[in-house]
Amino acid sequence: MSLLTKLKNAAKKALSSTNKPISEFETATLPWIDRTDVDIDTFVKQYQRGHDFPYDLGEKLRFWQRNGYVILEQAIPSQWVDQFWGQAEELINHHEHYRTNVRVDLPSYAAHPVMEAKDIPVDVLNGPYIKIMDFHDNSALGKQIMLHEPIVTFLEAVFGDRVIAMQSLLFKYGSQQPTHQDFAYVVSEIPSHLAAAWIALEDIHIDSGPLYYYPGSHKLKKFDFGNTGIFYNGQSKQNPTDFANYLDALCQQVGLKRETLLIKKGDVLLWHASLAHGGDSIRNPELTRKSYVCHYSSDKAYQHHRQSPNTEPIRRSINGADVYANPLMPDQEDIFK
Ligand SMILES: O=C(O)CCC(=O)C(=O)O
């Protein structure tokens, strides 16, 4: 580590120990599009990589600003999706070979919800309540999908900065996760520099526990977790259920309508750090809801891998964006090509 990086880290540590919990994103570091009086038309004219974007960039940016999300229809080639899901099936069915972390949200796993795939029985891996974590570390194709050109082009426009992919989750079934906003859980050095992609790996059925969201909710007053401000961790006084109740009630009170994401295989939903969303109930347990969720930040805000904040990350660059190699499992990197 260079002397400069050491000094920067020491200064950051000293600052964070005196910092009071925040109740709102800092105005000065907001992505440009979240500030008032921004000129989207001028931005679009001067944004070079936007010229090859296969959607109307100005229209998508205005929609994002108003609603906190956009949908990029048929952004991911169908063959990539099939090949990628084939890799997920290989991981599940031959789990004894793989060290990929998997989160199991079943009561019997409550003491140790995150385990390596090799230590989880195949029937558990094949069922609901499973999140395969950071499979992009293992899969070159997973990296290629998460940093596919249209996703990077749009998010680079939103951040006004190089895009960095932070983490990913792979689902076979609906998550049934209560309403939340991601910034509370996925934290970068500038918390407003966060966005996510929900990539449909099959056509989504209404009874499969689809994602839902409240358009416009990215502008609501933020929830206070107590002790920890707008972020949730072990020191928070309030919990994720309190967060969900606050968001559902506030959205209803201000008249924001809940929408359900019924997109097709290869479609991508991109959403703002503060869009309130969750997973609907699974009404037909026979139905899968295969999806790939990726979180992103900016170069300014995410300079180190979250699992190794004091080392320089190894960058893999794709389409002018980066994803950092997993510093804890170098032997598992790109084992699926
Ligand atoms: O896909 C889902 O059901 C929930 C995903 C989600 O909310 C998230 O990763 O933030």
Report pLDDT digits (tens) over 92-135. 999 999 999 999 999 999 999 999 999 999 999 999 999 999 99
Alpha-carbon span 186 to 183, nearest angstrom = 5
The verdict on the CB of residue 176 being under 6 Å from ligand 1 is: no
215 domain residue, yes or no: yes
Distances in Å between the Cα of 150 and the Cα atoms of 73, 74, 218, 266 are: 10, 10, 22, 12
pLDDT value at position 2?
52
Nearest protein Cα to ligand 1, atom 7: 278
The verdict on the CB of residue 291 being under 6 Å from ligand 1 is: yes
* 3-state DSSP assignment of residue 238: coil
The verdict on the CB of residue 174 being under 6 Å from ligand 1 is: yes
281 domain residue, yes or no: yes
Residue with tokens 């009630």: 249
User: 320: which 2 tokens?
Assistant: 């002018």
Q: Tell me the per-residue pLDDT of 38-93, one tens digit each, with 9 for 90 and over.
A: 999 999 999 999 999 999 999 999 999 999 999 999 999 999 999 999 999 999 99
CB distance 209 to 313 below 8 Å: no
Beta strands in 37-162 (DSSP E): 69-72, 101-104, 114-116, 130-133
pLDDT value at position 20?
81
Q: Tell me the per-residue pLDDT of 232-245, one tens digit each, with 9 for 90 and over.
A: 999 999 999 999 99
Q: How far is the CA of 119 from the centre of ligand 1 (A)?
A: 24
Identify which has the larger pLDDT, 286 or 18.
286
Identify which has the larger pLDDT, 300 or 19.
300
The rounded mean pLDDT for the chain is: 94
Nearest protein Cα to ligand 1, atom 9: 293
305 domain residue, yes or no: yes
3-state helix, strand, coil in the chain (%, to 5): 35, 20, 45
Contacts of 76 (CB under 8 A, 6+ apart): 145, 148, 199, 266, 267, 268
The verdict on the CB of residue 279 being under 6 Å from ligand 1 is: yes
Bridge partners for 279 per DSSP? 211
44 domain residue, yes or no: yes
Which CATH number goes with the domain that contains 297?
Answer: 2.60.120.620
Which atom from ligand 1 is nearest to the alpha carbon of 279? 3
Ligand 1 pocket: which of 103, 280, 293, 296 to mutate (most atoms within 8 A of CB):
293
337 domain residue, yes or no: no
Nearest protein Cα to ligand 1, atom 6: 278
Bridge partners for 99 per DSSP? none
Query: What domain range includes position 305?
Result: 3-332
Q: Tell me the per-residue pLDDT of 236-270, one tens digit each, with 9 for 90 and over.
A: 999 999 999 999 999 999 999 999 999 999 999 99
Which atom from ligand 1 is nearest to the alpha carbon of 171? 1
Q: How far is the CA of 244 from the centre of ligand 1 (A)?
A: 13
Q: How far is the CA of 229 from the centre of ligand 1 (A)?
A: 22
92 domain residue, yes or no: yes
pLDDT value at position 337?
81
Which atom from ligand 1 is nearest to the alpha carbon of 186? 10
Distances in Å between the Cα of 114 and the Cα atoms of 120, 183, 198, 207, 251 are: 10, 21, 22, 27, 32
Q: How far is the CA of 122 from the centre of ligand 1 (A)?
A: 23
Q: How far is the CA of 196 from the centre of ligand 1 (A)?
A: 9
Distances in Å between the Cα of 198 and the Cα atoms of 30, 38, 49, 60, 220 are: 23, 27, 22, 16, 22
Q: How many domains does the chain have?
A: 1
List the one residue out of 195, 144, 124, 170 whose CA is nearest residue 289.
Answer: 170
Does 5 have pLDDT greater than 70? no
Does 1 have pLDDT greater than 50? no
Neighbours of 60 (CB within 10 A): 23
